[in-house]
Amino acid sequence: MFLFINIHIMQILMQIDNEIELIVAFSKNNVLGNQNKLPWNIPEDLKRFKDLTTNHIVVMGRKTFESLPNGPLKNRINIVFTNQITNKKNSNVVYTNMENFCTTINELNVSDKKIFIIGGSEIYKIFLHSCKKIHITYIDAIFEGDVYFPFELSYFFENYEKEDSNSITLMNPTNIKYHYYIFIKT
């Protein structure tokens, strides 16, 4: 069943010209979030996220969208996957579902923009195999959480090519050790 869904999704996504990338931060125990918040405070990573995604398209699930502390991400087109399509109007927010995703992208007429998949867990599962590039911030610590990234870090080392020039280890002022990795689909 999962293989059929992935093949169906890949066929749908072949109808768009945009480059699709995934961006994620997760902990040693695969935590993405806890009670609709990031369980860590790494301002440098938030800046990196902003630098990569500004002036592009960000795709997320409804729960991820609702967890954004300041509403829609500025200077980006926010595409929100939901089963309850609404007529809410906002200049940079579009609500859609998988069946209408390609139509939505094509109607936006934004083939020059990258599409960044930013979560949550189910959205990552749906899109991972369609992403050409994976940006990972791996937080080298264990955190409490209620939302988990569905793939282990080892999966990317085993199935993707790592860009060596972009793998760095950092320590933030609160002594949280983290690594940036970029993986390329081969």
Is 95 part of any domain?
yes
Is 134 part of any domain?
yes
| Structural domain total, the chain | 1
Q: What are phi and psi of 55, to 5 degrees?
A: 70, 20
Is 24 part of any domain?
yes
Residue 39 clears pLDDT 90, i.e. is over it: yes
Strand, helix or coil for residue 69: coil
61: left (phi over 0), alpha (psi -120 to 50) or beta: beta
More confident residue, 5 or 153: 153
Is 113 part of any domain?
yes
Which tens digit of pLDDT belongs to each residue from 59-117? Answer: 999 999 999 999 999 999 999 999 876 666 577 899 998 888 888 888 888 889 999 99
Question: Which domain CATH number covers 178?
Answer: 3.40.430.10
Is 139 part of any domain?
yes
Is 8 part of any domain?
no
Q: Six-digit token pair at 128?
A: 């991972």
Is 149 part of any domain?
yes
| Average pLDDT for the chain | 88
103: left (phi over 0), alpha (psi -120 to 50) or beta: alpha
Is 59 part of any domain?
yes
Q: Any idea of the CA torsion for 155, 30, 177, 135, to the nearest 10 degrees?
A: 50
